[in-house]
Structure 1
Amino acid sequence: MARVLALLLLWAFSAGNCLGAERVLTLSFGGKPHRLTAEELLARPDATDLVVPNDSAYHREMKYRAVPLLGLLGTALKDGFNTIEARASDGYVSQIASNLVKKGAEGGAVAWIAVEDPAKPWPKLPDRDASAGPFYLVWEGAERSAIGNELWPFSVASLSGVDDPIRRWPQLAVDRSLGDDAPERKGQAVFIKNCMTCHRIDGAGEGEMGPDLGRPMSALDYITERGLRAIIRNPKAVRSWPQQQMEGFSESAISNAELDALVSYLAYMGKRKSAGETLPSRATP
């Protein structure tokens, strides 16, 4: 009996160590990736208590121990990276414009990395069997910079400095002949902001949670426009399954005009693919 108890204690200790080892945030901004443990982040002198009145993931007021993202990255954003790619452990990937983070020092929304303390675990997320930890990118005063829910990635595993999506994936870009006010061009921006976190299109992107909206068939080749609009607004009203993760976008997140533009963009991408057009070799300015 004593031997069995000893083995159980050893297993529990080992499992605890494994869980601790997974609590690492990797920063990649040129050069060798830098790995920081939750304990190291909590011990930083700029770590502070933060109250988020209307948390994006929990939909209520939350209190965190957090470190300022600008302080964490230091001079990394001066190295020419115009986008911060926040990759979550579940395949969710946010493309965050560096300027949004920099504006936190000039009166804009302030980005923080909330760190889950093992001694004070966060509650489970609604409809999930896990918390938002161990690392969660949250915003103080999100309304000051019109920060949407897609820029609140939780269970963050890594932060990387990258080029903006259009430069990385030129196939996302609409033709240069389309003006700035063209709905397809506006829809391109809506797709990058709201959809790329989970979806790719024709292989462009890093999101892994949802299907590619261009391969093997374009979305509007198998979903009606009415159905697509309904899925974007309230996916569970169209189709539902136990592991479904997509949440709908309200008019405050994607306005009706933006939804029109997004549908125009997806239709444009589908027609371009059907026509067999050559993908652009350079990004649209």
Structure 2
Amino acid sequence: MKVLIVFGALLLSTPLFAAQLVLELGTTARTWQTEELLQHPDARTIQIAEDVSYKKPMNYRAVPLTALLTGVEPDDHLQAVALEGFAAELPAAPLLNTNGARAWLAIEDPAHPWPPLGEGKGSAGPFYLVWTNPQAGHISPEQWPYAVATIKRLSAVAERFPALLPAPTVTQDDPVYKGFELFQKNCLACHRLNGAGDAQFGPDLNIPFNPTEYFSGDFLKRYIRDPQSLRRWPQGKMPAFSATVLPDAELDLLVGYLKHMAGRKQPLAP
């Protein structure tokens, strides 16, 4: 009996899990273990006043992302890949800021796990990209990827996925192109378009049909603002995009890009 009691006590005192984060930022890769990150010299406890995923204030042990992005330049492009297929496309410049909106890698301590994101769901761990003062950088909910497993430096989205590009006649100062930039920031983490993209999470937004083809009136905009107000189901994961993070003018540009791309469908590879 004593042996069983001691064994049980050991189980209770043992961390539930440990994880690793892979950084692919150039010719070599660096793997960080949970314990290494928790003991990183720049790690500190931060408070997030309005956590995007938990919808409440949260405290985290976190490392400023600038301390981990060795060799990354402001003009570079990064992708944060989550365990479940979420692939956030992230321009490097905001991640390297040390003033205003600042990016942090929050680390879940196995001895003190974070709460679940909802009934039957896991936590936002083991690694979660969070922001202090996000309003200063107009940070989108899609720039808060959780359950992150890998961060990669890649070429720009337009170079990797030409099927996402507007017509060649569309210049970079055209509203449609600005909508394309907003699509990258707000949608590409979960969705593909014309089969292009790395996300494994949400449906393709052009093949076989573009949402502008089956949402009439202002229902598409209402859906983007609050998905559960139009289609309510317990497992719905699309976040609501409030006017704070996606102002009405930007929402119009995003929908304008989708309308444009409805006329640029490309057959998927067999």
TM-score (normalised: structure 1) = 0.82
Q: Does 1:173 align with 2:171?
A: no
Distance (whole Å) between structure 1 residues aligned to residue 135 and residue 214 of structure 2 = 37
What is the root-mean-square deviation in Å for CA atoms of aligned residues?
Answer: 2.7
Among 67, 72, 97, the residue aligned to 2:68: 72
Q: How does 1:47-126 map to 2 (within 5 A)?
A: 47-75=43-71, 77-78=72-73, 82-104=76-98, 107-126=99-118
Where do 5+ consecutive residues of structure 2 fail to align? Answer: none
Q: In structure 2, what is the equivalent of residue 141 of structure 1? A: 133
**Residue among 40, 48, 53 paired with 1:44:** 40
1:61 counterpart letter in structure 2: P
Q: Would you say the 8 A contact 2:193–2:204 is kept in 1?
A: yes
- Whichever residue aligns with residue 41 of structure 2, its letter is P
- Is this contact kept in 1: 2:97–2:103, CA < 8 A? no
In the aligned structure 1, how far is the partner of 2:234 from the partner of 2:50? 27
| CA displacement, residues 134-171 of structure 1 (integer Å, 9 cap, x when unaligned) | 11111122222222221111111111111121121122
Which is richer in helix? Answer: 1
Checking the alignment, whether the CA contact within 8 Å between 1:183 and 1:260 is kept in structure 2 is no
8 Å CA contact 1:81, 1:163 repeated in 2: no
Give the SS at the match of 1:35.
strand
Structure 1 pair 134/178, CA: closer, same or farther in 2 (3 Å)? same
**1:27 and 1:33 in contact (8 A); partners too:** yes
CA deviation vs aligned residue, 1:78-118 (integer Å, no higher than 9, x gap): 4x9711111111222211111112222xx232211110111
Distance in 1, Cα, partners of 2:235 & 2:50: 26
- Kept in 1, the 8 Å contact 2:139–2:245? The answer is no
Match of 1:282 in 2: none
Identity of aligned residues (%): 38
Give, in whole Å, the separation in 1 of the partners of 2:172 and 2:153: 27
Which shows bigger deviation, 41-50 or 237-246?
A: 237-246
TM superposition outliers: structure 1 runs of 4+ over 4 Å: none
- Return 5+ residue gaps in structure 1 as ranges: 278-285
Q: Which residue of 2 aligns with 1:162?
A: 154
* Partner of residue 22, structure 2: 26
